[in-house]
Amino acid sequence: MIEPIDESQCQQVLERTEYYIAQAEEVLERPFERIPVLFDLSGTTAGMFRAQGRQREIRFNPWIFAKYWRVNLEGTVPHEVAHYIVHEIHGLGKVRPHGEEWQALMHFFGAAPEVTFKADLEGIPQRRQRTHPYRCDCRQHQVSTTRHNRILRGTGTYLCRYCNGRLVYNVC
């Protein structure tokens, strides 16, 4: 099992985050608030910028950083800072997440504007999502909690790929 990054490495990530925010301030000639940087992300995602209301934060996966230190320091950190800066300039939902504004900032940072990288995640703790029983006209299905919640909220409907029937929660 991989051990998460240590305090010294967390400090390096924080310094690199500050470096990219300062670079953005210089080129865009405006200040940006310093937001929380957390090392609490788990699963298969190396980093995430999250905005909920006025709360904004950057989260990193300390296990993936430990396994792929250089790639994440040079790619994931500027990737998430670029999301934060683009959000501050354009707001949520106004531009594509990996659109030209984000890509231009990544180029300025000297980082590859790639969306994800494929890596072997063996030894990294994985989240396990619960599944929920659904049915269609031809068979039973197991739907992830994410999709189940979308169905409950009315923001998602799912069809069987075999019979094209709508998936319905299987209460029994």
pLDDT tens digits for range 23-60: 999 999 999 999 999 999 988 889 999 998 889 999 99
Q: How far is CA 71 from the centre of its chain?
A: 16
Reported confidence tier of residue 169, pLDDT bands at 50, 70, 90: very high
Residues 41 and 66: their CA atoms lie apart, in Å, by 13
Compute CA distances 106 → 79, 85, 86, whole Å. 7, 11, 11
Instruction: Match domain 7-109 to its CATH number in 3.30.2010, 1.25.40, 3.30.310, 3.40.50.
Output: 3.30.2010
List residues with catalytic annotation. Answer: 80
Reported confidence tier of residue 128, pLDDT bands at 50, 70, 90: low
pTM of the model: 0.73
What are the structural domain ranges in the chain? 7-109, 131-169
